[in-house]
Structure 1
Amino acid sequence: MAPRSAPSSRHSVAPADQELAGRLALVTGAGRGIGEAVVRALVARGCRVLATDAAPEGVDALAREYEGSVVARTLDVTDAAAVEALVADAEDTLGALDIAVNVAGILRCSPVTELTDEDWRATFAVNTDGVFHVSRSVAGRMADRGAGSIVTVASNAAGIPRTTMAAYAASKAASVMFTKCLGLELAPRGVRCNTVSPGSTLTDMQRGMWPAGEAHDDGPAARRVIAGDLASYRTGIPLGRIAEPADIAEAVAFLVSDRARHITLHDLYVDGGATLRA
């Protein structure tokens, strides 16, 4: 396969619905929430997507909805051999991967003194090891072609302490720094690596943190998130709303596009100002 050239220095912006035409993206955690929104945003820009998830239902539905543009595969990102096999098969059968977006993640809340070894290991296995497995597998191939973009969806919890979220925050912080180090190594070979760090977003993960009976998007639990909580040292959201998955997906779509061709090693917070960028 002939090497791909880096974007020309004579830069022109393609129409929004075609700016990723001809490109192939791998998205993990694509079955719901932010991952699903990322798939939709990329397809809307002309990209073909290999949508993966540990549970097949969501990605299978996307493949049916976007027949010809989305291919669904079941993938456990904690399994390094399975990741490598999927990437190798994709490059053989679908074409060269231009984009990889690490979205797969889990959240297990607990005070540190009650946090189990199993919860700690499971959190890092998905949120950190999974990012490593996928990024390592695609990085060398992209570097050999001289072009590519890797985006890791992390969390604003990676940059500011959160009560009951030590494992999650630590795993996301590790993924942010890993992605930056990867980007530094790959920059001379034309591959850009960035992270997007959402705040509270209307996903099943967010709703799962709310008390039973309050897991609806305009209820008291949602209003408390917007207002903040002094008892847990948590600021509110200055923009006055909880993000929707599409808000995060739009940031990802920008970073993988040629509009961001000179951006790498960047951590883009998409949290409505919730962390005051501390």
Structure 2
Amino acid sequence: MGVAGGREGGGSGVEQDLAGRFALVTGAGRGIGAAVTDALVARGARVLATDLDATAVKAAADRHGDRVVAGALDVTDAAAVERTVADAERAIGPLDIAVNVAGILRGARVVDLDDADWAGVFAVNTDGVLHVSRAVARRMTARGRGSIVTVASNAAGVPRAGMAAYAASKAAAVMFTKCLGLEVAPYGVRCNTVSPGSTLTDMQRAMWDRSPGGPEAGQRAVIEGDLAAYRTGIPLGRIAEPADVADAVAFLVSDRARHITLHDLYVDGGATLRA
């Protein structure tokens, strides 16, 4: 881990309701993870921003100066996660917040799904959530406070063709987080999930690039719906931005949500009709 350089972070006009808190964010190199880091810093928190891509996470952290510590982390490596959490608490202080954002998508029809792709998706999206949540929960319960949020997906609640591994891994992460939340609630620790729909990230753009009609057709099908894929559109008529998801995370980890736990908050513009 190294301290990122650059200018001081923080957003003008944003309530500093996380001042003095220390947060761990995984998958912080880009997309939703980077937006979560920005949102927490803007609200006064200090953040340990981690990602498998050390270069990406350092670049994302550079804009916040000493408010963000950047570190490379493979969430599939339980020992590495434990070392990172222990080192961070010794060097900086107790973790008050943990946000599981790291995730991958490997799409294929089930009959064509490779065993290695299935295992790889679960290793990051489910095992990684276990490793991080377990490491921080052990410490949070001992202190009698803390908040853990897992960024899942609305695909966890609605079947998606060609996305069985991703959807199943996210559904497992949602139920794991709820079960953890039940166990740690007596110790004052809250656990919630945020389930985005289609969001303007590199992962989403890669899916559009593979669309038969090209990226524009892919985006249009998401917004308008695709009957052939048994997929409704987005009632709000727009694709989410990473900041939309990050704002939901920032709310759930704040004291404004102090009586909310075991909750799965959909941030999808109504796309699943909350099925």
- TM band (smaller chain): over 0.9
CA distance in 1, matches of 2:142, 2:107: 40
Letter in 1 for 2:91: T
Q: Counterpart in 1 of 2:121?
A: 123
Q: Distance in 2 between matches of 1:143 and 1:154?
A: 23
The residue number in structure 2 matching 1:230 is 227
What SS does the corresponding residue of 1:192 show, helix, strand or coil? strand
- For 1:158 and 1:236, the matched residues in 2 are separated by 17
Describe how 1:5-24 pairs up with structure 2 within 5 A. Answer: 16-24=14-22
- Map 1:31-46 → 2, pairs under 5 A: 31-46=29-44
Matched, 1:263 2:227: no
Decide which of 97, 104, 118 is 1:106's aligned counterpart: 104
> How far apart are 1:65 and its partner, in Å?
1.1
Q: 2:199 aligns with which of 198, 201, 216?
A: 201
For normalisation by structure 1, the TM-score amounts to 0.92
Question: 1:252 is matched with which residue?
Answer: 249
2:240 is equivalent to residue 243 of structure 1: yes
Distance (Å, rounded) in 2 between the aligned partners of 1:215 and 1:85: 43
Following superposition, which runs of at least 4 residues in structure 1 exceed 4 angstroms of deviation? 212-216
Equivalent residue, structure 1, for 2:6: none
Q: Structure 1's 215 and 136: CA in aligned 2 closer, same or farther, altered over 3 A?
A: farther
Deviation at 1:215, TM superposition (A): 6.8
Trace 1:175-186 onto structure 2 (pairs within 5 A).
175-186=173-184
Which sections of structure 2, spanning at least 5 residues, go unmatched?
Answer: 1-12
Tell me the residue number matched to 2:171: 173
Gaps of 5+ in 1: 1-14
Percent of aligned pairs with the same residue?
A: 74
Give the residue type in structure 2 aligned to 1:84.
Answer: E
TM-score (norm 2): 0.93
Q: Where does residue 9 of structure 2 map in the other structure?
A: none
Q: Secondary structure at the match of 2:159?
A: coil
**Partner Cα distance (1:197, 1:87) in 2:** 25
CA deviations on 1:98-124 (whole Å, 9 max, x unpaired) are: 000000000000000000000000000
1:230 positional shift: 0.4
Q: Deviations over 1:210-245 (max 9, x none)?
A: 1369776xx332111100100010000000001000
How far the C-alpha of 1:138 sits from its partner, in A, is: 0.2
Asked if the contact 1:208–1:215 (Cα under 8 Å) also holds between the matched residues in 2, the reply is no
Distance 1:155 1:182 in 2: 18
Describe how 1:23-102 pairs up with structure 2 within 5 A: 23-102=21-100
Deviation string 1:139-165 (CA, Å, 9 cap, x unpaired) is 010011100000000000000100000
1:39 maps to a residue whose letter is: T
8 A contact 1:26–1:100 mirrored in 2: yes
Alignment partner, residue 8 of structure 1: none
Aligned equivalents of 2:173, 2:61: Cα separation in 1: 28
Q: C-alpha deviations, 1:181-238, integer Å up to 9, x for none?
A: 000000000000000000000100001111369776xx33211110010001000000
Which residue identity does 1:181 align to in structure 2? C
Q: Distance in 1 between matches of 2:96 and 2:145?
A: 7
**What amino acid is the match of 1:191?**
V
Amino acid at match of 2:88: A
Letter in 2 for 1:230: L
Q: Which amino acid aligns with 1:244?
A: E
Structure 2 distance, partners of 1:197, 1:108, is 18
Q: How far 1:48 sits from its partner (Å)? A: 0.2
Distance 1:212 1:82 in 2: 34
Alpha-carbon distance in 2 for matches of 1:261, 1:215: 44
1:215–1:23 distance in 2 versus 1, CA, 3 Å:
farther
After alignment, is 246-255 or 16-25 more displaced? 16-25
- Output the CA distance in 1 between the equivalents of 2:167 and 2:180: 20
Amino acid at match of 1:209: M
* Mapped partners of 1:160, 1:62: distance in 2: 32
SS across alignment from 2:108? coil
Match of 1:156 in 2: 154
